[in-house]
Amino acid sequence: MERSSLGLKIPEGMIDLLPAELAQLEELEGKAISVCKNWSYQKVATPGLEYRACVEPDADKDDHLYKFFDKNGHILALRPEFTTPIARMVATRQKGGQFPLRFCYSGDVYRNDSARYREFRQVGVELIGSNNDIADAEVIALAIEIMKTLAIKNFQLNLGHNGIFSGLAEEMKFETKVREELEDGIARKDMVKLEKIISSNDLPESAKELLLSLPYLTGKEEVLDKLQNWTHIKPIRKAVESLRTIYLYLKEFGVQDYVSLDLGILRGFSYYTGAIFEGYLPGIGVPLIEGGRYDGLYADFGMNHGATGFAVNLGFILEKAADFELDMADVLVYGQSPGAVIKRCRELRKSGKKVEMALGFLADTDARNMASSRGIALLEKIEIT
């Protein structure tokens, strides 16, 4: 049937990739995955469709899912990320696995929000079954190694901790309402609101001072020294010790120069529980790497596992990457006899050449023109003998 005008369009936020674009994306993806494999991460895949109950269990929450119904009336969703589906997979299929598990993945994720791309390629890793700081350091070092392998210039990785605010709230026994307001302020990165709540509530002076200065603690080791004054509070001591150890290991990995300590990374009270990190590229308005420790997620799936990981948004890297030379055929084969042409093409392909076959007879000048317009260096004419 002839297509209506809608049938010629694609939905908002979707894109086609032409050969040069796709080749470049796959090149980036392949390089990233091969680094992961070098670090002993094995590639897994989860389905594009999951139950909403898996990827967003809170029915009250606004989500950005593409949702459908299955035949039984259950709500399905296109995966918005890989971390949760992999946790589901591990909890149901790898219960007796040899922990720690190291998995990597690459695939498209879908988010129905107003962003430019609502479908984009992610590459990422999950390191499941270790609470050790060295696990955090490993995934951070791996993220940086991937950026270096992809020749991403000027990127920067900020390392923070998601347990300080929540730990402090617990320790200070904030009222539920104050806590909720604080959480909302943090999730929205609304310093004005945070300041207002903190100064208008009856909190101990030391807690006020800490809460007000936390978002601005950013830099190198001195950040941790500044936190030292508050380390009589248990969750803070734990966070400081963790960050110090991770930062030290990053030096051993030879990547410390790329990393800033930054307690101003505010990410709300999502599933991240410990060290969190983001990778930035100047000129790209959103982080191109997001990662961190998410011990609570496996607990939600009934498993007691510490886990950490990250995802890289390849779409943004593609945008910044230099123009890509598409890999063209080595030789164009043409001639009078289709049989002889096919035979020669088979021989050449067997020997490892990339071969383009002319479809029908070409005059010599047409063959030359075709080869040059397609960037094919060699021509081979098959004469009938």
Partner 1 sequence: MPKNYLTIALPKGKLLTDSVALLTEAGLDCRSVENDSRKLLFDLPGSEARIIICRPTDIPTYVEQGAADIGFVGKDTVIEQNKDVAELVDLKFGYCRFVVAMPEESLPQKLPDGLYDLSVLNHKRAATKFPRVAQLFFNEHGMQVTPIKLHGNIELAPRVGLAEMIVDIVSTGKTLRENKLAEVAQILEATSRMIANRVSYRVKYERIQGLAEKIRVLVQ
List of residues contacting partner 1 (CB under 8 A):
154, 156, 158, 188-193, 216, 218, 262, 264-266, 278, 280-287
We find the least distance from the C-beta atom of residue 258 to partner 1, in angstroms, to be 13
We find the least distance from the C-beta atom of residue 192 to partner 1, in angstroms, to be 5
Residue 159 structure tokens: 């390392």
We find the least distance from the C-beta atom of residue 276 to partner 1, in angstroms, to be 12
Residue 158 structure tokens: 């900020």
DSSP tag of 257: G
194 to 197, 237, 270: CA distances (angstroms): 5, 23, 18
We find the least distance from the C-beta atom of residue 184 to partner 1, in angstroms, to be 12
User: Do residues 297 and 309 lie in contact, with contact meaning Cβ atoms separated by under 8 Å?
Assistant: no
Nearer to partner 1, 55 or 159 (CB): 159
Say which residues have a Cβ less than 8 Å from residue 24's Cβ, sequence separation at least 6: 318, 321, 324
DSSP tag of 129: S
We find the least distance from the C-beta atom of residue 190 to partner 1, in angstroms, to be 4
Rounded-to-integer distance, Cα 168 and Cα 319, Å: 40
Rounded-to-integer distance, Cα 178 and Cα 366, Å: 77
Nearer to partner 1, 129 or 160 (CB): 160
We find the least distance from the C-beta atom of residue 221 to partner 1, in angstroms, to be 16
We find the least distance from the C-beta atom of residue 319 to partner 1, in angstroms, to be 12
Hey, which bits of 44-94 come out as E strands? 49-51, 67-69, 75-78
Residue 379 structure tokens: 């021509």
Rounded-to-integer distance, Cα 295 and Cα 274, Å: 8
Q: How many residues does the chain have?
A: 385
């791996």: which residue's tokens? 142
